[in-house]
Copies of this chain bind each other. A is one copy, B any other.
Amino acid sequence: QTTFEEISASDFFYRNRDIAGFTNPSRAIFAAIRELVENSLDAAESLRIPPDIYVRLSYEGGASKETQIFRLRVEDNGIGVLPRHIPSAFGQVLFGSKYKLKQQRGTFGLGGKMAILYGQITTHQPACIISSTGMAKIYIYKLMIDIQRNRPLILDRKVLINKEQWKGTIVEFCLEGDYFRAMPKILDYFKQTAMVNPYANLTFVDPKGRLYRFTRVTREMPEPPKETSPHPYGVDVELLQRLIQITPYKNMLEFLRNHFHRVGEITARKFLEFSNISPSKNPKKLSHEEIVKLMHMLKRFKEFLPPDASCLSPLGEELLKAGVLKELKPEFVSVNRRKPATYAGHPFIIEVGIAYGGEIPKKGSFMIYRFANRIPLLYDEASDVSVRVINAMNWRRYKVTPDMPTAILVHICSTKVPYKTVGKEFIADRPEVRREIANGLRETARQLQRFLTRREHVDRERKR
């Protein structure tokens, strides 16, 4: 007889943790660090505070021939977490504050918990969360995850007086992993994070006690991203039903104006006329067929304004150039920021940079740096859309060849980065994204070609 089972979301990601990026002991250390650092960066940026993040990975004991037990501690000066939210924020999978339509690093409600879960299943030790929102108290929780029920288990709870009005969060737990194999990637991660977040202080103390400091070069924060509404082109029936269910508006005109991105009164009236829907119709009175028709009309109507990327916060050409100059010290750098575009109704901006010569090593192939919402992506390069574009491009027509000392940078920011995997390893091959990256690369390649041609002339002149 067939026996059926239901499993919780945490059980699903426990059983399939390589789908969440925790593939092996060395990647697990990397994944744990990156998930916590990204949470801390989001936390500080949500208050427009220049982030101060301190990461310490210390040696706790041996485990096997290739793995050791480490204690990971990440401390930040971010917004903190209220005590009533701490257990679920760190102990319940698919729980978080980033389920909004807004450019942030976090998006799944899963990352921090996966790190804690991995620590728990390899060391059976609880995680310790210390946090304060700057109020009178500091809260200390010791918790584990009940993986089968997807629920936090609070082992201990303490309250301290917040004498110095500290604000921030400290996450600490033990995990088993292979640091020494992961080390190059972890140091790369910090280096590249510093490159695209130059307003952040990052400190990393590794198991050998070595201190790596990435000091901020500016306290100036970029324009923060804003939460936005869904764009009509990205709509499906489920989304419409949810909007209809929660809307306080009693007519279609107000419904459209208030729930959709860049739909003003004029556009709304034109659309309602186009779709033959009365402006005074109550959205809650739409029948099922009318909802489906509304969805098709929203996709078919050609006069909706394209998504406005003012809700996004790109790096900016200044910052990208400065980061490249500082980290790669090239002879030449050219950056190009594409106009905002969309995929599936989500606005996104592609920024591309090409750097040549100077301290960039000749490697036989381009050095490729990929970023999404200011997160460096360091694994599975071959699968990423930008690498596919780079490989498909005819570089020779720009007189550029892979054996030249060249580095290419691609950054995408969006309200929803089209990650292909839960582990945020690479970007899916979406045609709209591919097109923007290709155009950006052509533009910067053209600039590089111009530089190389000029330099060739200068050299020839010198030889005469």
Contact = CB atoms under 8 A, between A and B. Distances in A.
A92 B6 contact: yes
A108 B237 contact: no
Interface stretch (A120-128, A333-341, A405-413): A120-128
Nearest to A418: B18
A7 B420 contact: no
B88 A6 contact: yes
Interface string A87-98: 011001011110
Interface stretch (A9-17, A197-205, A311-319, A349-357): A9-17
Contacts of A236: 121-122
Contacts of A123: 237, 292
A124 B19 contact: no
Nearest to A17: B236
Contact of A95 (B6, B15, B120): B6
Contact of A147 (B79, B95, B99, B238): B238
Interface in A57-112: 63-64, 79, 81-82, 85, 88-89, 92, 94-97, 99, 108-109
A310 interface: no
Contact of A94 (B7, B147, B299, B421): B7
Interface in A265-297: 288, 291-292, 296
Interface string A397-437: 00000000000000000000011111000001010000000
A4 B238 contact: no
Interface residues of A, number: 63
A123 B295 CA distance: 10
A453 interface: no
A82 B3 CA distance: 10
A149 interface: no
A120 B238 contact: yes
A416 to B, nearest CB: 8
Interface string A216-256: 00000000000000000000111100100000000000000
Given A2-B79, A291-B124, A421 B421 contact: yes
Contacts of A5: 95-97, 99, 109
Contacts of A2: 46, 79, 81-82, 85, 97
Interface in A9-37: 9, 11-12, 14-16, 18-19, 23-24
Interface in A359-403: 380, 382-383, 388
Interface string A324-349: 00000000000000000000000000
A165 interface: no
Contacts of A238: 14, 120-121, 147
A148 interface: yes
Contacts of A380: 383
A215 interface: no
Contacts of A18: 418, 420, 428
B296 A94 contact: no
Contacts of A99: 5, 7, 15
Nearest to A239: B121
Given A16-B108, A383-B383, A8 B94 contact: yes
A19 B237 contact: no
A457 interface: no
A237 B124 contact: yes
A122 B239 CA distance: 11
Nearest to A82: B2
A88 B7 CA distance: 12
A20 to B, nearest CB: 10
Contact of A237 (B3, B8, B12, B122): B122
A406 to B, nearest CB: 22
5 contacts: A2-B79, A5-B97, A5-B109, A6-B88, A7-B95
Rank and list the top 3 A-B pairs by shortest CB-CB distance, nearest first. Answer: A383-B383, A121-B236, A6-B95
